Amino acid sequence: MLDVRVRSQVGFEPERRSSHPYLCIDFRTLHTRLSCGALSADSGTEKRVHRLLSFQRYLHSSRLLRGIPQQIPLHILDEDYSGQARCMLEKVGNWNFDIFLFDKLTNGNSLISLTLHLLNQYGLVDLFQLDMVRLWRFLVLVQEDYHNDNPYHNSVHAADVTQAMYCYLQEPMLSKSLTSYDILLGILAAATHDLDHPGVNQPFLIKTDHYLARLYRNTSVLENHHWKSAVGLLRETGLFSHLPAEDSLNMERDLGSLILATDISRQNDYLSRFRTHLDQDSLCLANGSHRHFVLQMALKCADICNPCRPWELSKQWSEKVTEEFFQQGDIERKHKLEVSPLCDRETNTICNIQIGFMTYVAEPLFGEWARFSDTRLSQTMLGHMGLNKASWGGLQQEQTAVSEEAELSTADPDAGESRSKEIPQGSRES
């Protein structure tokens, strides 16, 4: 019987056995995704204790600011790399922005660099009188709290979503209507929307009786955790402590409302509301609640925009998210749990997963977004998605043909050989 205790990265769960007969799962152990390899139990515990203690986090962050080397330092890049990164940021509003390249040029600090750049570009640091030390520390801790050993839900995904959100904020329908508060909220929500994601989905947390599932009563478990984690960092760093308490609480509440909108299980609810507004032409962006709803839809689009990127980028994201699905399925199979849909590498392929996702999730959402904001960007996104879907369809046909040929060869080993043999010219009997 497996007796591995469940722990979250942000806290300890009291020692107990799961109600499930097979497991209490430590995600870090089972995924073997520790960034520095196979650590001992003691060093893993030390890392978690380090993350828990505000004083230690302050010390860690302040040393980073002073440039004192740490176990995981924020390296200073040479001028070539930092220069190229600055050049890329000049085109941060381009839809073909290569976040993978930008992450390399910033030495894995794409989320910090991009978010700080956008906040400065909009003048939000000055406008909201944000303390630069506190802001820097907040961004460092946000990036640190993403699990970069997750193939997909990591800080690069958060940076990609933040860049996409910026593209949407620049769209005429939004840029002429949103307030500075809306923009600040949208950027922070994009940067923190998957904070401390464990690399498995909500059904997995529920069926393994994870304490987060019980804490949030099996409802928007991950999204609630992302939101609360973000609020924890805001309070720990005191980023908005200079604001009136009511304003700070409103910011936390509105941030949660945006992050909770990314729950894919509520996709149809939001899409239905959006469609109704568009059908009735009832969206009024002078209305604060309507602007907030549009921000929710923008974040939802940014979160799942990978199928709308150019093929070279979209394909990389598709491979990463599928691998994360399959890793969860491997864990489920290993522990004799029912393998979740899309997570079985033996019955699913990246092609059918992507085609299904585009057909049933992405196309309906981006079709409605294009009705709301009929711009060149919207048409570009729909165009890329159509081409990407066709590309996955072509690859699927190739794989099917190869599979069928292999099955024929297995069934009749001589069949392929006999078909390929031809009587040499001139050897036929007359």
Mean pLDDT split into 10-residue runs, the chain, 430 residues: 35 36 41 38 47 43 43 53 93 98 97 98 98 98 97 98 98 97 98 98 97 97 98 98 97 98 97 98 98 98 98 98 98 97 96 98 98 98 98 94 79 55 43
- Of the candidates 354, 296, 300, 365, the one whose C-alpha atom is nearest the C-alpha of residue 325 is 354
Asked about 210 being catalytic, the answer comes back as no
The answer to whether 263 is annotated as binding is: no
- Of the candidates 174, 121, 122, 162, the one whose C-alpha atom is nearest the C-alpha of residue 292 is 174
**DSSP code of 200?**
S
Q: Is 385 part of a structural domain of the chain?
A: yes
Instruction: Provide the pLDDT for residue 70.
Output: 42
CA distances from 197 to 9, 110, 358 (A): 10, 18, 23
For the record, the structure tokens of 242 come out as 């200079």
For the record, the structure tokens of 102 come out as 């930008």
Q: Is 234 part of a structural domain of the chain?
A: yes
Distance CA 361, CA 355 (A): 10
Instruction: Provide the pLDDT for residue 82.
Output: 86
Expressed as residue numbers, the domain containing 275 is 81-403
Which residue bears the tokens 């498995």? 200
Instruction: Provide the pLDDT for residue 411.
Output: 67
The answer to whether 277 is annotated as binding is: no
The answer to whether 153 is annotated as binding is: yes
Instruction: Provide the pLDDT for residue 415.
Output: 54
Q: Is 18 part of a structural domain of the chain?
A: no
Q: Is 426 part of a structural domain of the chain?
A: no
Q: Which of 31, 117, 147, 153 is catalytic?
A: 153
Q: Is 310 part of a structural domain of the chain?
A: yes
Instruction: Provide the pLDDT for residue 406.
Output: 80
Q: Is 64 part of a structural domain of the chain?
A: no
The answer to whether 197 is annotated as binding is: no
Query: For residue 245, what is the domain's CATH number?
Result: 1.10.1300.10
415 class by beta-carbon count within 10 Å (0-12 exposed, 13-18 middle, 19+ buried): exposed
Number of domains in the chain: 1
In three-state secondary structure terms, 124 is helix
Task: Indicate the pTM of the whole model.
Answer: 0.80
- Of the candidates 165, 61, 75, the one whose C-alpha atom is nearest the C-alpha of residue 118 is 165
Q: Is 308 part of a structural domain of the chain?
A: yes
340 class by beta-carbon count within 10 Å (0-12 exposed, 13-18 middle, 19+ buried): middle
Which residue bears the tokens 């497996």? 2
Q: Is 65 part of a structural domain of the chain?
A: no
Instruction: Provide the pLDDT for residue 40.
Output: 41
The answer to whether 361 is annotated as binding is: no
Instruction: Provide the pLDDT for residue 417.
Output: 52
- Of the candidates 255, 158, 305, 211, the one whose C-alpha atom is nearest the C-alpha of residue 7 is 211
In three-state secondary structure terms, 386 is helix
- Of the candidates 285, 189, 298, 204, the one whose C-alpha atom is nearest the C-alpha of residue 234 is 189
